[in-house]
Amino acid sequence: MALPQWVFPFGLLIFLTVGCSGRPFYPLPSKAGHENKQPLQTFRPYNIAHRGSNGEIPEETAAAYMRAIEEGADFIESDILSSKDGVLICFHDVTLDDTTDVAKHKHFANRKRTYEVQGVNVTGFFTVDFTLKELKSLRVNQRYPFRDQQYNGKFSIITFEEFIDIALDASRVVGIYPEIKNPVLINQHVKWPGGQKFEDKFVETLKKYGYQGSYLSKHWMKQPVFIQSFAPTSLVYISNLTDLPKILLIDDVTVPTQDTNQSFWEITSDPYLDFIKNYVVGIGPWKDTVVPVINNYLQEPTDLVARAHAHNLQAAFTISRSGHPWRITTKRVHLIYCMKSH
């Protein structure tokens, strides 16, 4: 069954409240039951909170996700990585350097490593070299200096299970949009009992919390979820483990797939789209591959979305990560036109 015609990231279709003083500090979920929850609205575009309300609160923290739900998010989105001891966590980068205070923890100074990540040597403090207890001792900061800095150092890294709890604890139905992040790196450095892989633990966690069913099925409507990944082999692999809907993420034209080393042109070709539609319900292309930008001017939309639709695939993508929706008004108009072309 096809996805709705429009799927936009949260923060692009709302206006953030000006001024953040007086915002509450958010505790983890109460686990209180909510009877007769307001259902997910499927007749309109989904609002997807990309890393939570990260324009005002540090990304992928409990507070950022709870704030996004307050602001009306239909789905909260997260990147799933692993700790050294195999606990799945919510964190975007494979290294901790840019968005935590790890550099202030002098007792971790000897943890800096250099690993190959997607064909490039990366040096930093990797999540896979820290236990969950050690990761919890760190505090998360804003990624960019133009974002609100007042909550820097207030919140810790959360686990995948805590992330799920936040969605399930909401007073209305809130879906989750987790990404299987850098599975090649994770499977190289983290080992689970019984020969399990990162993907096995990921799906096992979703099943533990009752996530099941194909898109718009009765079970799915109660606990909506889309599984996303830049790694095609991970999505094919988990297709044998769950019928939950999946999205193939597609990077910029210069970036090959992290697991199969296929080019952008190969994975967006008609034969490949015809193949991958057996495993996913849609693609998540990088915005510039949908509406190119040359010298800061938007160009005519490409045919990628139209070709995806022709293969019964839908498109969901992030337009801006700035936290400033007024900066992307023109892009939004072009993308609405592009998505309505089906």
Q: What is the pLDDT of residues 67-90, one digit of tens each?
A: 999 999 999 999 999 999 999 999
Strands (E), the chain: 7-10, 46-50, 75-82, 88-90, 113-117, 120-124, 158-159, 175-180, 227-229, 246-250, 282-285, 293-294, 297-298, 314-315
Distance between CA atoms of residues 229 and 31, nearest Å: 29
Q: Is the pLDDT of residue 98 over 70?
A: yes
Q: What is the pLDDT of residue 339?
A: 35
SS3 253: coil
Q: How far apart are CA 235 and CA 228, in angstroms?
A: 8
pLDDT at 11: 39
pLDDT, the chain, mean: 87
Tell me the C-alpha distance between 163 and 62, whole Å: 7
Residue 333 scores a pLDDT above 60: no
Query: Which CATH homologous superfamily contains domain 48-93+157-336?
Result: Phosphatidylinositol (PI) phosphodiesterase (3.20.20.190)
pLDDT surpassing 70 at residue 264: yes
Rg (CA), the chain: 19
Pairing of strands 88-90, 158-159: antiparallel
Burial of 95 (0-12, 13-18, 19+ CB in 10 A): buried
Flag the least confident range among 124-133, 208-217, 309-318: 309-318
Return d(Cα 253, Cα 260) in angstroms, integer: 15
| CB proximity list for 119: less than 8 A, separation 6 or greater | 256, 261
Structure confidence at residue 252 (pLDDT): 93
Alpha-carbon gap, residue 148 to 216, rounded angstroms: 37
Choosing from 34, 50, 105, 107, the catalytic residue is 50
Local confidence band at 260 (pLDDT 50, 70, 90 cut-offs) = very high
Q: Is 89 exposed, middle or buried (0-12, 13-18, 19+ CB in 10 A)?
A: buried
What pLDDT, on the 0 to 100 scale, is given for residue 2? 45
Confidence of residue 317 (pLDDT cuts 50, 70, 90): low
Using an 8 Å Cβ cutoff, are 235 and 246 in contact? yes
Give the range among 7-11, 212-216, 337-341 with minimum mean pLDDT.
Answer: 337-341
Higher-confidence residue of 36 and 40: namely 40
- What residue ranges do the domains of the chain occupy? 48-93+157-336
Tell me, what's the pLDDT at 321?
A: 43
Catalytic residue among 92, 105, 311, 342: 92
| Unique residue bearing structure tokens 């005519």 | 300
pLDDT for res 318: 59
Instruction: Mark out the alpha helices in the chain (DSSP H runs).
Output: 62-70, 132-136, 160-168, 183-189, 198-208, 218-222, 232-238, 264-267, 270-276, 304-310, 329-339
Q: Which amino acid is at 199?
A: E
Q: At what angle do helices 160-168 and 62-70 cross, to 10 degrees?
A: 20
pLDDT over 70 (residue 16): no
Strand partners, 8: 47
Is 50 an active-site residue?
Answer: yes
Please give the model's pTM, rounded to 2 decimal places.
Answer: 0.87
| For residue 224, pLDDT beyond 60 | yes
Q: Bridge partners of 49?
A: 10, 76
Average pLDDT over residues 271-290: 96
Cα first-last separation, the chain: 15
Residue 342 confidence (pLDDT) above 80 = no
Token pair 């309505």 in the structure block, residue: 340
CB-side neighbour CA atoms (13 Å) of 123: 3
Q: Is the pLDDT of residue 94 over 50?
A: yes
